[in-house]
Amino acid sequence: MDSFAASDLTLQDLLPHRGGMLLIEEVLQVERRRAVVRCTVRPTWPMAGPEGADALILVELAAQSAGVCNGWDRIHSKGLDSDKTGWLVGIKKAEFHLHLLPYGAEILCRAENINDFENLREVSCQQLLDGRLIGSMILQLYQE
């Protein structure tokens, strides 16, 4: 299989998301089991209100972060042109330490596969704002 560097790939290579649903702006680190990404809270985001975005959107940020490392794994094991079908995501556990995400805030999202069996993943995710933990969750991902 071809070897790719992170700089060789776009977010669209890694994720099925497009347009307003693509919330990640930059991949800072990526490997087959983990990823760190950056995003900026925008008024165009889903769940955005007059003063900021509802913290529940952190679940989507976690899912997209998990998608980055699992997309990376897909490309390295099956090739760049392999099926980019998304994952069905369940929330096993979630903790939010903010109710509202202020516009312009830069959020770092970390995702790491902690269990991996065939088409099932369990992913630990944390989101940081100015170095402070604002969300953590365990997601379960399934792909047909």
Tens digit of each residue's pLDDT (9 = 90 or more) over 23-73: 989 989 988 899 999 999 999 999 999 999 999 999 999 999 988 887 778
User: Which three-class secondary structure state does DSSP give residue 44?
Assistant: coil
Which residues span the domain enclosing 63?
Answer: 6-142
- 54-58, 61-65, 83-87, 117-121 — which is least confidently predicted? 83-87
Q: State the number of CA atoms in the 13 A half-sphere of 77 facing the CB.
A: 12
Taking the C-alpha atoms of residue 91 and residue 4, their distance in angstroms, rounded to an integer, is 31
pLDDT higher than threshold 90 for residue 114 = yes
User: Is there a domain that residue 49 lies in?
Assistant: yes
User: Is there a domain that residue 1 lies in?
Assistant: no
pLDDT tens digit sequence for 18-33: 566 789 899 899 888 9
User: Is there a domain that residue 28 lies in?
Assistant: yes
User: Is there a domain that residue 107 lies in?
Assistant: yes
Q: How many domains does the chain have?
A: 1
In terms of C-beta density within 10 A (0-12 exposed, 13-18 middle, 19 or more buried), how is residue 132 classed? exposed
* Spatial contact of 15 and 64, defined as CB atoms under 8 Å apart: yes
- Residues above pLDDT 90, as percent of the chain: 58
CATH number at residue 57: 3.10.129.10
